[in-house]
Amino acid sequence: MGLRSYLLSPWGLLLLGLAIVHFIRRRPDNYWLFVIVFLGPLGAIIYLAVEALPDIGLLGQSFKVFPRRKRIRELEAAIRDNPSAGNYEELGDLYMDDGKIQLARPAFDKAIAARADTLDPFYRRGVCAIQLGDAAAALPDLERVVGKEPDYDFQRAAGLLAHGYAQTRRPDKKKKPRRSSGR
């Protein structure tokens, strides 16, 4: 009676259900299914501790929306007191992360007006322009970035520049293919 009640208790069945649902969604190694089924609730506890517990750390990214919005409000207040380029740059980054591209672009404009010696605000303003569908406005910024550092952002800047050329239909900027020696 003790073993049967252990295997069929509501809590044991709940643990088995959670473990099997997680197994189906994540598809880890197949031996985990044998651990869950043959060891019952104990196997489910082992599986959940080893495989599902580390996944809880991934949930943290989903809940970072509230601190970002709080930081945006703090920066907006700080800019009233100290309109520095760094504050505008950080505000533009936060707006981009929050999906507010229309607000990010003017923030990068103000950061560039205050200090035009770093490439990052130019690159980010170019990305905003591309995302807003204004490829012609993005070209000067991206040309500046790629001209100074061709592999900026793991060559994404060069790719966005090529995308901008394609969007504006500027065939004069297409690169000719390289020929290999072949010998």
Please give the pLDDT value at position 26. Answer: 84
The band of 102, judged by pLDDT with boundaries at 50, 70 and 90, is very high
Please give the pLDDT value at position 69. Answer: 86
Domain extent listing, the chain: 2-59, 64-172
Residues in Cβ contact with 37 at an 8 Å cutoff, skipping those fewer than 6 apart: 43
* Structure tokens, 3: 């073993």
Q: Are 142 and 161 in contact (CB under 8 A)?
A: yes
Q: Has residue 4 got a pLDDT over 80? A: no
Spell out the CATH class of 64-172: mainly alpha
